[in-house]
Amino acid sequence: MRKVLYILGQLSDSDVDWLARTGKRIKHVKGTQLIKFGVSLSQVFLVLDGELSIQTNKGFELAKVGSGEILGEMSLVDSRPPSASVVVVQDAFVLALDKTVIQEKLDTDSGFASRFYRSIAIFLSERMRNTVGRMGYGDEAEEVSADEDELDANVLDNVHLAGARFERLLQKLMG
């Protein structure tokens, strides 16, 4: 549920309410390929419940994700096709957000755009730091700590807000 902490921790309550009103809650059954490697996306997904597998083009599992994860955010930012596939492992509910609607909001609401892009930047920066550390690059003195799940201070300041916002979002969408 780490991505949701980055994203919802930076957004405002009204931003989260907008996401809930704008998105569509969709159930996907086990075996559904939600995202296909190399095929352009028209949506971004917030996983509300269930379990999904992120896989390489050849089917090698990179990670399993669940509630609170956001999928397709990289393709939203750079408009390139996905670099991995996502398959539903356990029936899942997602909030599907149309990319054109999000882009329109980003283009017309500078406050939302600033908060949204900041949240994506913080998350991707953290992901890159962890990846570089795991690969063994950089000075030995700068190695990633044993506790790689430690959150950045910017995220920690808003972690309680992010959790509360996600719970409120779930209550609105899941009943």
Query: Which residue from 38, 73, 71, 39 is spatially nearest to 52, judged by alpha carbons?
Result: 71
pTM: 0.80
The CATH code of the domain that includes 41 is 2.60.120.10
Over the stretch 162-175, which tens digit does the pLDDT of each residue have? Answer: 787 888 888 888 87
For the chain, give the number of residues. Answer: 175
Indicate the number of domains in the chain: 1
Q: Which two tokens stand for residue 150?
A: 């430690």
pLDDT tens per residue, range 44-95: 999 999 999 999 999 899 889 998 888 998 898 898 999 999 999 999 999 9
DSSP string, 16-67: HHHHHHHSEEEEE-TT-EEE-TTS--SEEEEEEEEEEEEE-TT--EEEEEET
Q: Nearest Cα to 40, choosing from 71, 82, 93, 77?
A: 82
Q: Max Cα separation, the chain?
A: 50
How does pLDDT run across 135-151, given as a tens digit for each residue? 776 554 444 444 445 55
Report the pLDDT value the prediction gives residue 147, as an integer from 0 to 100: 45
Range of the domain at 90: 2-174
